[in-house]
Amino acid sequence: MGVIDRENVPITIQGDGVELRTAEVGEMTVAFVKLRAGTDLSPAVKGLPGDLCPCPHWGYMVKGRVMMQTKDGEQAGQPFYWSPGHAPMALEDSEYVDFSPTEEFAAVIRHIKGEA
């Protein structure tokens, strides 16, 4: 067990208002996410089931506000659980940390990067 320092976690995706840093910890991945206000990740998840992210995420909003677009409407919150079937959109400059099952999240990352 140890401390995960955001600055020492490698950048996985950067550009278009997004900075994603990820580190695998056992069967989970911790992600440090920065989104610029107005960033909409809907286009990035197009082509995944329901055109939404199929991976669950548990986390905490450090700064800003992010709205989740889901098949059931919109969600927002501080500590959060985002069930499968969502696409984030930053309402303000935002930062959050989340934890996701590694295999499921890796598939989403490959899709976003065009490696799937």
pLDDT tens column, 38-74: 999 999 999 999 999 999 999 999 999 888 888 765 5
3-state secondary structure at position 42: helix
pLDDT at 76 over 60: no
- Any residues with CB less than 8 A from the CB of 47 and at least 6 apart, and which? 111
What pLDDT is stored for residue 75 in this prediction?
53
Assign 80 a pLDDT band (cuts: 50, 70, 90): confident
Residue type for 52, please? L
When pLDDT is averaged across residues 73-95 and rounded to a whole number, the result is 83
Do residues 13 and 4 touch, judged by C-beta distance below 8 A? no
Residue-wise over 41-74: b if at least 16 C-beta within 10 A, else e?
Answer: beebbeebeeebbbbbbebebeebebbbbbeeee
Domains and CATH numbers, the chain: 6-93+102-112 (2.60.120.10)
pTM: 0.90
Higher pLDDT, 3 or 87: 87
